[in-house]
Amino acid sequence: MKKFTKLAGPAAPLMRANVDTDLIIRIQRLVGTGRTGLGPYAFENLRFLPDGSENPDFVLNKAPYREAPILLAGANFGCGSSREGAVWALMGAGIHCVIAPSFGDIFHNNCFQNGLLPIALPEEVVKQIAAETEASQGARHTAIDLVRQVVITPEGAEIPFSIDARKRDAMLEGLDDIALTMRLKDQIEAWQKADHAKRGWVWESVKL
DSSP 41: G
Residue 156: CB minimum distance to other proteins, A: 26
Residue 156 or residue 205: which is nearer to other proteins going by CB? 205
Residue 187: CB minimum distance to other proteins, A: 6
Helices (H), 27-164: 44-47, 85-92, 105-114, 123-135
Residue 53 or residue 205: which is nearer to other proteins going by CB? 205
DSSP 20: B
Residue 33 exposed, middle or buried by CB count within 10 Å (0-12, 13-18, 19+): exposed
Nearest-10 crossing angle of helices 85-92, 105-114: 50
Contacts with 93 (C-beta within 8 Å, 6 or more apart), sequence order: 39, 40, 42, 43, 60
Virtual torsion, Cα 132, 136, 137, 143, nearest 10 deg: -60
Residue 143: CB minimum distance to other proteins, A: 25
Residues that bind other proteins (CB under 8 A): 15-18, 20, 22-23, 26-28, 30-33, 35, 45, 50, 74-76, 79-85, 87, 102-106, 109-110, 113-114, 123, 164-166, 177-178, 181-182, 184-185, 187-188, 191-192, 195, 199-208
Residue 164: CB minimum distance to other proteins, A: 6
Residue 147 or residue 178: which is nearer to other proteins going by CB? 178
Residue 111 or residue 141: which is nearer to other proteins going by CB? 111
Helix and strand numbers (H, E) in the chain are 9, 8
Contacts with 102 (C-beta within 8 Å, 6 or more apart), sequence order: 75, 76, 77, 120
Report which secondary-structure segment, H or E, holds 6: strand 6-9
Residue 157: CB minimum distance to other proteins, A: 22
Residue 3: CB minimum distance to other proteins, A: 16
Residue 74 or residue 92: which is nearer to other proteins going by CB? 74
Residue 29 or residue 141: which is nearer to other proteins going by CB? 29
**Other Cβ atoms closer than 10 A to 67:** 13
